[in-house]
Structure 1
Amino acid sequence: MQDSRLLAKPPICRLGCLVLVRNQRGDVLLVDPDYMDGLIMPGGAGKANEAPHRAAARHLHAQTGIIARLTHIAAVDYNPADRYLERLSLVFDGGTVRDGVNLNIPSQKRSGLLGASFVPVRELPAHMAPSQAARVTEALTGRALPILLHGQRPD
């Protein structure tokens, strides 16, 4: 049974689908968007009815060329509305890539990115906004949660 009252006026909340990727030294992959100061984890907003882990994998591939199968959430971060809409960010564990992996960053005109690089954990606060660095630090704790779709682990 579908209750039309539940669908009449859905809440406005952006869903951020981010990916934590490390290299073999433990450095964190960050991208440099031209629309904000500081570096951030790869990712972006999910589309309507797009599974969040698939949205995160899609953005990771589009921004860096890395293909990852995402199976666990490393952190969940809620941000109330301020200069942006209210948002919930899911940080997926993208695992570890080999040192020297070839990143394929699209042109700035196409992607809005100035570049991407691996940053040592101890240097994160110098490259990121405090809330972004705190999000990465929490995601690095290793307390991952499995991804479920309708109660089942996705393929």
Structure 2
Amino acid sequence: MKPPTPTDPADWNAYLAEGNARQARKRVAADVLIRDSAGRFLLVEPTYKPGWDLPGGMAEANEAPHDAARRELHEELGLEVELGALLVVDWVPSHGPWDDQLSFIFDGGTLDEQTVAMLRPRDDELAEVMFVPAEKAARLLRERLSRRFDAAVSQLGTGYPAYLSDGRPGRTR
């Protein structure tokens, strides 16, 4: 049987929807590099997993990564930040019970001293926040995230993002 054509919109859309339902879905994470006036980086301590993390989180269905990052900052920290450049896109392979995902890191800029002084967790997903130098952040973050963080820091001010595969430089050609 021949597939329908766009000349029959109802059959064509049903045909496309069937193909769409069989395609892979990716989880999407969106984090943000935020600095204080001393150039230290914001880390957050989640309550639902061990260790430190970058602010941000998982995108909801049909939510753009940029919007997910802004939403998570608002929900968890009460921050309204104008996000800057995309710094990193990292393909993360499946691990443990998790399927693969795409992880984004955006530049969140520098917070003023008043905002930093008032910064605290705003929901039960975070226990603590702190600003640390890049070297300390790299030691506190899980290995894969630490590599992603280092890549993001190196992209600040370059005007273009890094593409990573499991936290390591990926192929772009």
The residue that corresponds to 2:30 in the other structure is 17
Work out which of the residue numbers 63, 67, 70 in structure 2 matches 1:50. Answer: 63
Q: Residue deviations 1:36-74, cap 9 Å, x none? A: 221111111111222211110110121122211224211
Aligned alpha-carbon RMSD (Å): 1.9
Gaps of 5+ in 1: 147-155
Displacement after TM superposition at 1:139 (Å): 0.5
Equivalent residue of 1:38, what SS? Answer: coil
Following TM superposition, by how much is the alpha carbon of 1:121 offset from its aligned partner in structure 2, in angstroms?
0.9
2:110 to 96, 102, 113: 96
Contact persistence 2:120–2:129 (CA under 8 A): no
Q: Residue 67 of structure 1 aligns to which amino acid in structure 2?
A: E
The structure that has the greater radius of gyration is 2
Q: Is the 8 A contact 2:77 2:120 kept in 1?
A: yes
- Unaligned 5+ segments in structure 2 are 1-5, 7-12, 162-173
Aligned length: 143
| Structure 1 residues 94-133: aligned runs within 5 Å | 94-99=108-113, 101=116, 102-106=118-122, 110-133=123-146
User: What's the TM-score, normalizing by structure 2?
Assistant: 0.75
Equivalence for 1:152: none
TM-score, normalising length from structure 1?
0.82
| Aligned residue identity for 1:28 | F
**Larger relative helix fraction:** 2
User: Aligned match of 1:8 in 14, 21, 24?
Assistant: 21
In structure 2, how many angstroms separate the alpha carbons of the residues matched to 1:138 and 1:73?
Answer: 12
Which runs of at least 4 in structure 1 moved beyond 2 Å after TM superposition?
A: 1-6, 143-146
SS of the residue 1:39 aligns to:
coil
Name the % identity.
Answer: 33
Q: Secondary structure at the match of 2:113?
A: coil
